[in-house]
Chain A
Amino acid sequence: MDQFDDRDILDIMHADLQRALKKPRKERRWVMAIDLKKCIGCHACTTGCMSENLTPPDIHYRPVKEEEIGEFPNTAMRFLPRPCMQCDAPTCTPVCPVTATYKRDDGIVAIDYQKCIGCRYCLVACAYGARSADVGRYYTGEFHNQTYEVEDSGEYGKSFKRKSHWHSPVGNARKCHFCIHRVEKGELTRCTTTCLGSATYFGDANDPQALITRVISRLNVFRYKEELGTRPLVYYLT
């Protein structure tokens, strides 16, 4: 187990989370950090996310990019997990014609599945390719064939069952939402808890005592495609 101040980081982040939830929502600022030196490319975060959000085929809220860097014989593998960056200046929310996707006051970029018209403009606009269109594919290929394919994922704390292509979130845009349905119940995001290398940090950056605040204030931090001016809330440690 990874230790920080002689404590397991999951315990620390869990305590930080409980403290954050006592504050009004608008005073929280959910942030994620991923330590690329610790990521071993096991894809446990990807599969954990898929089982948590019951994502259909071809939809990965948190894929992991595998890159070979350097030239032979001085080569190495680098893994880059990519959740939604929950940008402070997102490119996806301004383009939505019906305000179905919006920035919450706690930093999460959310999608209202009941408003989304499925125009996919946000997929085109997102600079990170972090959005997917749920067109109604099932692992089994048939509707209602397997219960887990139509179960309620509880995303955004609401009930959505993929019973057919007329039942949201089928027909909608989908993306990572920092497991806000878990977070608001006092649980860490699924990718944080499933990470074998303890590479993922999560918490309230408005809390100066929180582990995440200490982690993202290090010097070896960068944000992906920061030059685009999107001000992502996901930090990478190198």
Chain B
Amino acid sequence: MDVFGVILPDRNRLAATLAAAARGKGGVPLYLSLLGLAAGLYAIAAIFIQGHAHTINTSNLVPWGLQISTYVYFALLSTGCTFVNFFGHVFFEKQYKPFASRIIFVGIVTAIAAFFSLATEMGRVDRMYNFLLSPNPRSPMFWMGVWYTCYLIAICVEYVNIQTSRHSSRVMWGAFFIAIFTHSTLGSLLGSVSSRVYYYSALMPIYFLFIAFLTGCALTTIIAGLTVKQQKLDAAFHLHPFVTMLRVGLGLALLITFWRTMIGLSAHLEGSEVFSLTLINSVLFGIVVVIVIPYLLLRMGSGANWLIFVGLFIMGTQLKARNDLVTGAFKIPLFRVYDMPEVVHYTPSAYEYLVVVASASLVTVLYIIFERSGVFETRDSKEVR
């Protein structure tokens, strides 16, 4: 099996791509991404060198902040890519084929980018080996680690199969179900926390899966739109599946967001006032901006550029929505003493924002380099059962 030129970029083409970038012919997206990656790596280095006390705005009142939100966001993006890959292969085989390798590749790099962010949130990331030496099978976080590893292996195998023109339905189905297990476990990580009413819900694993589908659809629509433009494909034919999936994703997101909010509002538990406290944001932003407006935008046009814009709009709003979800649980302190505010407000530091930039830039840089090195060029494939 050829690794270079098939799974990884061909050495000569990679050198040519890098040389073009060095000569100033890399294009604005690549340079912006490289700039973002450099700034993000600087922030990550600062977090490790200076420590959390000097770089991060999380506290005992808000133990999880933007970095955990970013982790969740990228993990869900990755899941969404796997879902789209599955539904694309099953229901839209011909329309989907030109994008298959790109989408599963982005699924891999977003999963890696998620860890970029997670690593900076951990107090002692150097002790992660304790997941192996001292595991706790009762912890959803432990199972999250186990499933995430399986998930990464599965999507890497799926990518290799697509790239080597030996796509296997079994692997694709396996990756799909592992993605469901992995990211519903991520949902259960929050949903099983009985002390935080904002999280505590059996809906949470399903919420994560539905949101993963929506964000994955948004990201893959951008990829499909860019590919259609670049390769001058028939936009109406090839983009139709993505529009359909985006509409389904928006419907699922509306359903789960609505019921999560309604059930939360009806709770009479300590801390459940957070649902009424965040109601305006939940309705105006969480439903109108995140779901209704993208749906209306989808009805207004179907061209590649327009769909790229809609995808970017959904991805941007979803990042804020994930942050609202993760940090919303900490708005009401569990035990209010001394000068603690009645409602806790959290504003991420510049370093935290730069970690988001680093994760996003990593995905963009790797995608552009692989794309320009010809890794995603269409190959004849055969289905292997």
Q: Which residues of A have CB within 8 Å of B126? A: 166
Q: Which residues of B have CB within 8 Å of A138? A: 53
Q: How far is the CA of A170 from the CA of B196 in the complex (A)?
A: 25
Q: Which residues of A have CB within 8 Å of B194? A: 91, 125, 127, 228
Q: Which residues of A have CB within 8 Å of B334? A: 126-129
Report yes or no: B63 in contact with A117, Cβ–Cβ below 8 A: no
B385 within 8 A of A: no
Q: Which residues of B have CB within 8 Å of A99? A: 134-136
Q: Is the interface of A mostly helix, strand, loop or mixed?
A: loop
B333 within 8 A of A: yes
Q: Which residues of B have CB within 8 Å of A125? A: 193-196
Report yes or no: A124 in contact with B127, Cβ–Cβ below 8 A: no
Q: Which residues of A have CB within 8 Å of B125? A: 117-118
Report yes or no: A126 in contact with B51, Cβ–Cβ below 8 A: no
Nearest A-chain residue to B142, judged by Cβ? A97
Q: How far is the CA of A60 from the CA of B339 in the complex (A)?
A: 13
Q: Which residues of B have CB within 8 Å of A228? A: 194-195
Nearest B-chain residue to A102, judged by Cβ? B136
Report yes or no: A129 in contact with B333, Cβ–Cβ below 8 A: yes
Report yes or no: B63 in contact with A124, Cβ–Cβ below 8 A: yes
B130 within 8 A of A: yes
Interface string of A118-152 (1 = CB under 8 A from B): 11110111111111111111100000000000000
Report yes or no: A65 in contact with B337, Cβ–Cβ below 8 A: yes
CB distance from A132 to the nearest CB of B (A): 5
Interface string of B329-346 (1 = CB under 8 A from A): 100011111100000000
Q: Which residues of B have CB within 8 Å of A117? A: 122-125, 127-128, 130
Interface string of A80-91 (1 = CB under 8 A from B): 001000000001
Q: How far is the CA of A126 from the CA of B60 in the complex (A)?
A: 12
Q: How far is the CA of A138 from the CA of B54 in the complex (A)?
A: 11
Report yes or no: A120 in contact with B123, Cβ–Cβ below 8 A: yes
B131 within 8 A of A: yes
Q: Which residues of A have CB within 8 Å of B60? A: 58-59, 123, 129, 131-133
Tell me the residues in window 10-58 of chain B with beta carbons closer than 8 Å to chain A beta carbons. Answer: 50-54, 56, 58
A115 within 8 A of B: yes
Report yes or no: A170 in contact with B141, Cβ–Cβ below 8 A: no
Contact status of A136 and B127, CB under 8 A, knowing A97-B136, A129-B333: no
Interface string of A58-98 (1 = CB under 8 A from B): 11100111100000000000000010000000010011111
Partner of A82, one of B122, B142, B335: B335
Number of interface residues of A (CB under 8 A): 49
Interface string of A207-227 (1 = CB under 8 A from B): 000000000000000000100
Interface string of B179-223 (1 = CB under 8 A from A): 000000000010011111001000000000000000000000000
Q: How large is the interface on B (under 10, 10 to 19, 20 to 34, 35 or more residues)?
A: 35 or more
CB distance from B282 to the nearest CB of A (A): 20
CB distance from B256 to the nearest CB of A (A): 22
Q: Which residues of A have CB within 8 Å of B56? A: 135
Report yes or no: A94 in contact with B138, Cβ–Cβ below 8 A: yes
CB distance from A224 to the nearest CB of B (A): 9
Q: How far is the CA of A96 from the CA of B123 in the complex (A)?
A: 14
B139 within 8 A of A: yes
Nearest B-chain residue to A91, judged by Cβ? B195
Q: How far is the CA of A91 from the CA of B270 in the complex (A)?
A: 16
CB distance from B353 to the nearest CB of A (A): 18
B59 within 8 A of A: yes
Report yes or no: B337 in contact with A66, Cβ–Cβ below 8 A: yes
Q: Which residues of B have CB within 8 Å of A127? A: 194-195, 334
CB distance from A66 to the nearest CB of B (A): 7
Q: How far is the CA of A168 from the CA of B126 in the complex (A)?
A: 12
Q: Which residues of A have CB within 8 Å of B63? A: 120, 123-124, 133
Report yes or no: A96 in contact with B64, Cβ–Cβ below 8 A: no
B174 within 8 A of A: no
Report yes or no: B335 in contact with A96, Cβ–Cβ below 8 A: no
Counting chain B CB atoms within 10 Å of each CB, the highest count among A97, A164, A171 belongs to A97
Q: Which residues of A have CB within 8 Å of B53? A: 135-138, 165
Q: Which residues of A have CB within 8 Å of B58? A: 133, 135
A20 within 8 A of B: no
Partner of A121, one of B59, B141, B335: B141
Q: How far is the CA of A94 from the CA of B50 in the complex (A)?
A: 31
Nearest A-chain residue to B195, judged by Cβ? A127
Q: How far is the CA of A63 from the CA of B336 in the complex (A)?
A: 10
B251 within 8 A of A: no
A172 within 8 A of B: yes
Report yes or no: A97 in contact with B193, Cβ–Cβ below 8 A: no
Report yes or no: B335 in contact with A130, Cβ–Cβ below 8 A: yes
Nearest B-chain residue to A123, judged by Cβ? B63
In the assembled complex, 15 residue pairs joining A and B whose CB atoms fall closer than 8 Å, in A order, are: A58-B60, A82-B337, A97-B136, A98-B133, A98-B142, A99-B135, A121-B139, A124-B329, A126-B195, A129-B335, A136-B51, A136-B53, A172-B123, A228-B194, A228-B195
Nearest first, the 4 A-B pairs at minimum CB distance are A118-B123, A165-B51, A171-B123, A129-B334
